[in-house]
Structure 1
């Protein structure tokens, strides 16, 4: 992989749910070589954790070539799964937790795992709703997406 700044991207991500479960939205700001792009979407009948995952997935999917990707999220669920090695252990344990229960949101975790293999990923946790400009913008976009009428039902339902 080249070390060009064009091969670097920062993803600012957030998910929101109006009720949990309920209508949900996700948002990502992609900052690549000084160019910023915002993406958002949502599902009906979903959860906050699924929307957090979907934001990261859609951000990574938007990068057609391998990149060094820095993810900034307010989701401990995603941060800890990557930093503490939960995702790696879930995969090696046949998608079972340490207590032998099926991993929740397996469909999205599997998709995320495949996307992460394509890129060199680092992750940073930021406290939500504390004035971080990109996190606040993503929260606003995710809530707006969750509020749209006639959202498609979450495919896991």
Structure 2
């Protein structure tokens, strides 16, 4: 099975506030950029949306290496998701999983692929992460600028 890499980042200006996300999908030769945002959201929701929107663009099954500076997303995919599903979408503290709508959507998309999520340190000079961070912030700013008009 072919391998793709996804680099993803999300941002919100305020938490909640205007938010943006950006992902890069690459096979090592070609790259596709996915970006967008929302008027009122949280950083964690945008981190999840960056991954969801990238996976929605990929139509066939692949091995996917996901790189993000969000431990929330990495831990969710690699450790928490299966436990949440077994527990009826409850955390180990018996509380409802936050952002359950996005986690359930992500779970459906993950079924098509073999995904391994890797944490990378943010703001540390990683070119794809830096690019995604910058674009996610620019997407969030679009919503802030619209509010000021």
TM-score by length of 1: 0.89
Deviation at 1:32, TM superposition (A): 2.1
- Answer yes or no: is 1:48 the counterpart of 2:32: no
Decide whether the 8 Å contact of 2:8 with 2:129 is kept in 1.
yes
Decide whether the 8 Å contact of 1:66 with 1:118 is kept in 2.
yes
Runs of 4+ in 1 over 6 A off after TM superposition: none
| Map 1:63-82 → 2, pairs under 5 A | 63-82=58-77
**Over aligned residue pairs, what C-alpha RMSD do you find?**
1.3
How many residues align structurally? 145
Distance 2:28 2:129 in 1: 19
- In the alignment, structure 1 segments of 5+ residues that lack a partner are 152-157
- In the alignment, structure 2 segments of 5+ residues that lack a partner are none
| Corresponding residue for residue 29 of structure 2 | 34
Distance 1:101 1:26 in 2: 27
| Corresponding residue for residue 138 of structure 1 | 132
**Structure with the larger helix share:** 2
Decide whether the 8 Å contact of 1:80 with 1:86 is kept in 2.
yes
Counterpart pick for 1:16 among 11, 15, 19: 11
Distance 2:110 2:77 in 1: 10
SS of aligned partner of 1:97: coil
Distance 2:143 2:123 in 1: 25
TM-score by length of 2: 0.93
SS of aligned partner of 2:21: strand
SS of aligned partner of 1:28: strand
Deviation at 1:107, TM superposition (A): 0.3
Counterpart pick for 1:110 among 104, 107, 112: 104
